[in-house]
Amino acid sequence: MKDYIDKFTIISHARSGTHFLYETLAANFELRCRVKRPGISGADAFKFHAAFNQLSELEKFGAKNLSLDDFLKEHNAVYIIRDLRDTLVALWFYYRRALPGKDPIGKIISKKSFGQYLRGTSLATVRAFGLKGNEANILSLLDPVQYWLDFTSWSDHVHTIKFEDLKLNPTIVLDNFSANFNLKPKDKNYIFIKKLVGYFPRKGIIGDWKNVFNKKDEEYVFARAHNTMSKFGYV
């Protein structure tokens, strides 16, 4: 088995547990990240928040015009997925509490109820708040449900980890990770991260969507994403 994994990248929709996954993997395996940026440490040096169809976002890795096949060949990538409902609730709270007054996204979302956010934002509103140039941010606002669905295509191409499994069954997740990459753990006993990295209200709560969704919200999500959510065991 290998002693380390090189050019390691975690791909995820925002608020899917990227930091928690990295801290867990780094505690148990030798990871060598694909990107090192001056002044940026920890998860920001490896995480990749771009949907499967957003090849232009690969330029963040200094890989202009890199094809998807090239990306998959050159990166030891994992994709972490979290329940669409919890992901969107976490992102809505994040936008409203962390960004208002500091970021165009926060200014938009702070004026919306969860139901309004769930159903998307018009391009005219986005432009009115000066949000431009970042395709990923724009798409995440225009249609949050579709943006999550776009991310799920990564699961057909890279090793996939469910956030819920990472929290509830970490041994299985780590064993599968080790086997998939033929990677030797640092020690015979795994180290489990007990607390999610960083601080933010309601961070990483499984099932938090039940405290926010109403019946119409549930019907809206199921009408659009039921098949995909079922595929990953979320319904």
Mean pLDDT, 10 residues at a time, over the chain (235 residues)? 92 90 94 62 68 64 63 87 96 76 75 93 82 65 93 95 96 98 96 75 85 97 98 96
Helices and strands, counts by H and E, the chain? 11, 5
First vs last C-alpha separation in the chain: 37
Q: How far is CA 222 from CA 68, 153, 205, 219, in A?
A: 30, 18, 21, 5
| Whether residue 15 is found in the same domain as residue 33 | yes
Q: How far is CA 82 from CA 35, 119, 161, 172, 225, in A?
A: 24, 19, 9, 17, 13
Residue 79 in domain: yes
| Whether residue 165 is found in the same domain as residue 217 | no
* H or E segment to which residue 81 belongs: strand 76-81
pLDDT computed for residue 134 by the predictor: 56
| Whether residue 14 is found in the same domain as residue 66 | yes
pLDDT computed for residue 73 by the predictor: 81
| Whether residue 140 is found in the same domain as residue 92 | yes
pLDDT computed for residue 132 by the predictor: 59
Domain count across the chain = 2
pTM here is 0.88
Supply angle C-alpha 65, 67, 73, rounded to 5. Answer: 130
Tokens (6 digits) for 201: 């209200």
| Whether residue 73 is found in the same domain as residue 165 | yes
Supply angle C-alpha 205, 208, 214, rounded to 5. Answer: 170
Residue 196 in domain: no
| Whether residue 75 is found in the same domain as residue 121 | no
